[in-house]
Structure 1
Amino acid sequence: MPTAALRAGLISYTDTGGTKPTIVLTGGLAVGGTLWDPVVEVLRHDFRCVVPTLPLGAHVEPMAGGADLSLPGLVEILDDFLELLDLHGVTFVECDTGMGQLLAASACERITSMVLCSCETADNYPPGLPGRTVALAAKLPGGVNLAMQQLRVRALRRAPFTFGWMAKRPIPDAVMDEWLRPLQTQRAIRRDLTKYLRSVKASRQALREATSRLRSFDRPVLVVWASEDRVMPVGTGRHLAGLFPQARMVEIDDSYTLLPADQPEQLTAEIRSFVNVSASTL
């Protein structure tokens, strides 16, 4: 897997390559890029798919000691990543985090459209029971380590306060093992995640400030939400869609937050259709 040397540190990523229209896909806390594998496997035939693993716990290279790992800091890392790879005309696709809203508020010139899938908002941060649980753990000395070591017990991964309300269907153990291994084995990776989790106040404020500027984002946006989501309530998705001047919302049944895991075929079809229509209007 290639790595991008950024100011904050090394970011690993996958890239299907080519000169086709580019889609950049990102995930959330303790979720590796393989979340997107079923989606990328289909989209790669028509699009260049780039999947960076941002420093949210599933990354394998610790960030520089002084790196800003708050939500705004992650957006800067992503912006540096897009610049290093010289990506333009990007459709940014995210699931779980609120980075897309900060990117929209900053009017990032490299991004021409967005797909926001069941994600954090200013009114839901940290999101739901899993978000509040891990944020609380980060306040305690050794709390993140304790929380992650407990997830070696695979049955606990289906608890509502861990991944049980993130994915409606169990994520394969081998995949979860890969996502969690860096946090369970590397103190520096736990340090990175703890820095992010302890930035709640600054990150929430950044989301609130971004919300007031979303109406100025005049590019196409697709908001895709799991209708049964227990972590990101569907009402927050409808509200978010209403803040963009060119947004359309799609609700997907029989899924929780991690739509790429629960409903990859339907999500892939929605992304493909959206990108094709968006490209035809540019």
Structure 2
Amino acid sequence: MPSVELTAGTVEYEDTGGDGPVVVLMHGLGMDGSFYRNVVPALRYRCRVIVPVLPLGAHRTPMRRDADLTPRGIGRLQVEFLDALDLREVTLVGNDSGLFLFAAALRPERIARLVVSSCELFENFPPGLPGRSISLAAKVPGGLWLVAQGLRLRFVRRQPTALGLMSIRPIPDEITDRWFEGLVTRSEIRRDLAMYLRSTRRGDMMAAAEGLRGFARPVLVLWAKEDRVMPPAHGRRLVELLPDARLVEIEDSRTFIPEDQPVAFARAVNAFIG
């Protein structure tokens, strides 16, 4: 897997190559680029697809001890990633984590289109029961270590405080094994995640949304109709906020649309790119 050296540390990424439109897929908390494993094949036949591994708990290379891993800091890391690879006319896509919204507002000249898909938004931060649970654990001494040890057990991962509310269909165990390996076994990965979680503030995603008010690029808002963590009303509210946005609601899915409805997700993104 290729990597790039950024201010915060080394970031690995998948790059399908090719000369088509550039699509950058940003994942959420406690996962890596394999979150989009069922979407990339449907996009790569006409697009160059790039999926960075963000320092949100499933990364394999720890960040520097002085790295800025606040929500805005990770937004700046995403901007730096786009700059380092000199990516232009990007279709920037995010699901679950809303941190990519900071990147879109900071570097709109690199963005051709934005896809906002069932993610943290407005006052829903940390999001729902899973977000509040892990954020609270990170603020208690030893709490994140206890959470990580619980995640060794596959049935624990399926509980509402973990991944149980995030998708209708169960995520394969071999995928969640991969996601949680570093968190379970490596103190440096837990340190990075704790730095992020302890820095979050309720107003962060309000600021991210406000930063998009002047975003004059086309925006596709993809929201899961049965989402139980990211309120569907927030998708509609975002469309009203942005000058060039439209909403597509996805049936039979919760937050993790690339898990529940990867075909519908890829079809919507491909149609948006046109």
TM-score by length of 2: 0.97
**1:59-138 matched pairs, under 5 angstroms:** 59-138=59-138
What letter matches 1:176 in structure 2? T
> 1 CA distance for matches of 2:216 and 2:100?
14
> 1 CA distance for matches of 2:167 and 2:53?
19
SS at match of 1:49: strand
Paired residue total: 274
- CA deviation string 1:58-85 (max 9, x = no partner): 1000001111111110111111111111
Unaligned runs of 5+ in 1: 277-282
**1:1-282 matched pairs, under 5 angstroms:** 1-201=1-201, 204-276=202-274
> 2 CA distance for matches of 1:138 and 1:154?
21
Q: CA RMSD in A?
A: 1.1
Conserved 8 A contact 1:112-1:220: yes
- Tell me the CA shift for residue 37 of structure 1: 1.2
SS at match of 2:166: coil
SS at match of 2:38: helix
Conserved 8 A contact 2:124-2:205: no
Dislocated runs of 4+, deviation >2 Å: 103-108, 204-215
> 2 CA distance for matches of 1:104 and 1:253?
27
- Tell me the CA shift for residue 101 of structure 1: 2.5
> 1 CA distance for matches of 2:93 and 2:15?
14
What letter matches 2:56 in structure 1? L
What letter matches 2:39 in structure 1? V
- Tell me the CA shift for residue 107 of structure 1: 4.5
> 1 CA distance for matches of 2:162 and 2:12?
25
What letter matches 2:260 in structure 1? D
> 2 CA distance for matches of 1:208 and 1:43?
31
Conserved 8 A contact 1:107-1:217: no
- Tell me the CA shift for residue 149 of structure 1: 1.1
SS at match of 1:56: coil
TM-score by length of 1: 0.95
Unaligned runs of 5+ in 2: none
Conserved 8 A contact 1:100-1:114: no
> 1 CA distance for matches of 2:208 and 2:127?
17
What letter matches 1:19 in structure 2? D
> 1 CA distance for matches of 2:112 and 2:65?
33
- Tell me the CA shift for residue 103 of structure 1: 2.7
